[in-house]
Chain A
Amino acid sequence: MAKLTFNGGIHPYDGKDLSKDKPIRAVLPKGDLVYPLSQHIGAPAKPVVEKGDHVLTGQKIAEAGGFVSAPIYATVSGTVKAIEPRRVVTGDSVMSIIIENDGLYEEVEYPERKPLEEMTREEIIECVKEAGIVGMGGAGFPTFIKLSPKEPEKIDYVIANCAECEPYLTSDYRRMLEEPEKLVGGLKVSLKLFENARGILAVEDNKPDCIELLKNLTKDEPRISVKELKTKYPQGAERQIIYATTGRAINSSMLPADAGCVVNNVDTVVAIYHAVVEGKPLMNRIVTVTGDAIADPCNFIVRIGTNYHELVEEAGGFKQEPVKVVSGGPMMGFALFGLDVPTTKTASALLCLTEDEVSRMEPSACINCGRCVEVCPGRVVPRLLADYAEHYDEEAFLSHDGMECCECGCCSFVCPAKRPLTQTIKSMRKMQLAKKKK
């Protein structure tokens, strides 16, 4: 059988060897923890604690600020030191709750859960909503909304996105190797919501050990299958993974549910398991700390709110001065001004590079080579879109499907003239999206 895949895409240097064999290690935060109220798509959360309050690990410190929003939980015990704006990975200043860690890690009592068989649809969704789970692959869309489409009976596939196509990232890989039963457990919880759906664990074929493990674990699960995807970036992009596994295609104005699919990333599925089976809110995530500047690249289980400085220290510090530090992978991550930012729900990696390829390369004139067109998974013409964006020609940008761009970065990656195609298109998209909102 031909490997499942999509058209377009690239094969960048994957850098996963740096950290893939490092077992997940827990990091205990030492300094203050910072919880930005906006670490998801939608309305910022509303604080329910005040300065001076004592909080326990697992205590809710902010509630959802609207329908599309998510609550936030303390991940250490300590005292609320301040509620003030703090710098986050995107460079923005976001209102945040700051907790002084007392180092005791006293926990709240987590609620007892009924066995899964006895839980209703509504109860499961409520658990996920209350746990503050958002898409942990990077988008940060509140998961309970994904899990409650208008017509749940029309969902045919629940896909666990285990592609991990971003170079350098090994957090999902380690999670699959070390806690596959939680991943499968979380998928089973999701399947309970959709009676007509089949579960798919979609894994890129550069992780044969995970595929083997998951196949063994699910051999007695008639509703769950493991699907091997061709290793190619961006295989794990939502639209691409739906197409690769089901042959269904959605555009930017559709939701996965329109194609009968629900897609969640590995860490998100595991968080669903924690919330629904163990009664624990979302408090930690796996972060890969890697790059050629890091002395000892590692995979950590990190309490949300932990400062990036502490992660670098835990990974043995820098063996060489980094020039560029990226939160996330090299294709879609955010470059940081400095390390003084907190780990959020959507931070999958901290990548420290001793060289910045981008600033070394000077853009030159487009030679119309067509590579951007070859690799674009959105099947648009990045060259033209970037042209329209540069000239702020909105009409042409929209009519040439500029909004179908998923900002994956493939076009900028391949461009021999080193033109900032993705970046130019992205700015235009941002402007158009902002306009739409008005």
Chain B
Amino acid sequence: MSDLMKVSSNPHVRSKSTTSSIMLTVVIALLPAAGFGIYNFGPKALLLILVTVASTVATEFAFEKICKKKITIGDYSAVVTGLLLALNLPVSAPWWIGVVGGVFAILVVKMLFGGIGQNFMNPALGARCFLLISFTSIMTNFDCDAYTGATPLAALKSGESVNILDMVIGRTAGTIGETSMIAIVIGACILILFGIIDLRIPGTYIVTLAVFVTLFGGRGFNWPYISAHLSGGGLMLGAFFMATDYVTRPITKKGQYVFGFLLGVLTGIFRIFGPSAEGVSYAIIIGNLLVPLIEKVTLPKAFGKGGEKA
């Protein structure tokens, strides 16, 4: 037997799960929403998705190459960012929007802050908000071959009636990946099944928003109105795929409930009192900024100091 045995401190075994396996699962979980988007909006949607993903991956690769850092595109996190960003774009957007957004997401929001795990804001959402502010007319133009006119939430805001069934299935105007509640929930089930996310943040978020619109929406406990709010806009995609982004949500369990609650309230305020019909993206990035504070006040108690039951 060889004299050179491997020596290291315990433990000597590791679980199989890795960063890339987690990110790959997220990519797979996003495929139903992406697939429906392509079916709903046509091949242009596929093109936009491919361009955006290529842009995020290439940006990460180029940045790391230029800075002589370890290439980390193999962890698939750039793919997740690109895919999420693309799903948040309207299909009418020109291809270069995807490229600009991808570069902004990876370069400004992620890499300049230290790369994976260090960004304080969800890169896809940071880029989406950047695009919304910079190219407002492009980003809010939801006219396309399949649909003309307002998104369901905008229609709702101006007092028109909406078809809930269409919203749940996704046959409405909107960004590529946000329209189908069913497709997104299928993806969310994959994430929950594989233990990637749990319901603490999405559950609190959705319930809080439902309560908020009931209280302040001006229509009382009006079931169609509430379900329109829940199935419309970016809520489902935001709650299950972006509010749950590991890096930018609190790590403490209690903090996750606080975070979900905060997002629900902010989204409600933006949707009901703000000028825009939408509010999920802004709610989440503002929530992201408060994460360090939330973590600080929600640190768990240790075992034997009152924390054993939690």
B302 in contact with A401 (CB, 8 Å): yes
B5 in contact with A338 (CB, 8 Å): yes
The 8 Å CB contact of A91, one of B2, B7, B309, is B7
A325 in contact with B5 (CB, 8 Å): yes
A324 in contact with B5 (CB, 8 Å): yes
Q: Which chain A residues lie closer than 8 Å to B252 at the CB level?
A: 373, 381
B14 in contact with A412 (CB, 8 Å): yes
In the complex, identify which listed stretch (B112-120, B151-159, B207-215, B276-284) lies at the interface while the others stay far away.
Answer: B112-120
Q: Which chain A residues lie closer than 8 Å to B300 at the CB level?
A: 373, 379-381
Q: How far is the CA of A378 from the CA of B15 in the complex (A)?
A: 20
Query: Binary interface profile of A, 322-364, with partner B (CB < 8 Å = 1, else 0)?
Result: 1111100011111111110000000000010100111101001
Q: Measured between C-beta atoms, what is the minimum distance from B252 to chain A in Å?
A: 7
| Residue B31 CB within 8 A of the other chain | no
Size bracket, chain A contacts? 35 or more
Instruction: List 24 contacting pairs A-B, 8 Å CB cutoff, sorted by A.
Output: A6-B303, A6-B308, A250-B304, A251-B302, A251-B304, A254-B304, A321-B1, A324-B5, A330-B11, A331-B12, A335-B10, A337-B7, A338-B5, A357-B13, A358-B6, A359-B8, A364-B75, A367-B117, A368-B249, A370-B251, A379-B310, A380-B302, A380-B303, A400-B299
The 8 Å CB contact of A404, one of B117, B247, B248, B302, is B302
Instruction: Knowing A321-B2, A416-B18, say if A370 contacts B246 (CB, 8 Å).
Output: yes
In the complex, identify which listed stretch (A27-35, A267-275, A417-425) lies at the interface while the others stay far away.
Answer: A417-425
B12 in contact with A422 (CB, 8 Å): no
List B residues at the A interface (Cβ < 8 Å): 1-3, 5-15, 17-19, 21-22, 72, 75, 77, 115-118, 246-249, 251-253, 299-305, 307-310
Q: Measured between C-beta atoms, what is the minimum distance from A248 to chain B in Å?
A: 9
Q: How far is the CA of A252 from the CA of B301 in the complex (A)?
A: 13
Please name the residue on chain B nearest to A12 by beta carbon.
Answer: B13
A379 in contact with B301 (CB, 8 Å): yes
List A residues at the B interface (Cβ < 8 Å): 6-7, 10, 12-13, 91, 167, 239, 243, 249-252, 254, 318, 321-326, 330-339, 351, 353, 356-359, 361, 364-370, 373, 377-381, 383-384, 400-401, 404, 407, 409, 412-418, 420, 422-423, 426
Known pairs A12-B13, A251-B302, A380-B300 / 9 extra A-B pairs, C-beta < 8 Å: A7-B308, A330-B13, A353-B12, A357-B13, A368-B249, A381-B300, A401-B302, A409-B11, A417-B18
A418 in contact with B18 (CB, 8 Å): yes
Which are the 8 A-B pairs with shortest beta-carbon distances? Answer: A251-B304, A409-B11, A379-B307, A365-B117, A404-B302, A401-B302, A249-B308, A423-B9
Instruction: Knowing A365-B118, A367-B247, A381-B252, say if A416 contacts B17 (CB, 8 Å).
Output: yes
Q: Which chain A residues lie closer than 8 Å to B12 at the CB level?
A: 324, 326, 330-331, 333, 335, 351, 353, 356-358
B19 in contact with A416 (CB, 8 Å): yes
The 8 Å CB contact of A331, one of B13, B19, B77, B253, is B13
Q: Measured between C-beta atoms, what is the minimum distance from A386 to chain B in Å?
A: 12
Q: How far is the CA of A13 from the CA of B307 in the complex (A)?
A: 28
Q: Which chain A residues lie closer than 8 Å to B11 at the CB level?
A: 330-332, 409, 412-413, 422
Instruction: Knowing A367-B19, A378-B302, A416-B18, say if A335 contacts B8 (CB, 8 Å).
Output: yes
A414 in contact with B17 (CB, 8 Å): yes
Q: How far is the CA of A366 from the CA of B11 in the complex (A)?
A: 18
Q: Which chain A residues lie closer than 8 Å to B22 at the CB level?
A: 367, 369, 416
Q: How far is the CA of A322 from the CA of B117 in the complex (A)?
A: 36
Please name the residue on chain B nearest to A325 by beta carbon.
Answer: B5
A249 in contact with B13 (CB, 8 Å): no
Q: How far is the CA of A373 from the CA of B247 in the complex (A)?
A: 14
Instruction: Knowing A331-B13, A357-B14, say if A377 contacts B5 (CB, 8 Å).
Output: no
Instruction: Knowing A321-B2, A369-B246, say if A420 contacts B19 (CB, 8 Å).
Output: no
Please name the residue on chain A nearest to B256 by beta carbon.
Answer: A370
Q: How far is the CA of A364 from the CA of B22 in the complex (A)?
A: 14
Q: How far is the CA of A300 from the CA of B247 in the complex (A)?
A: 48
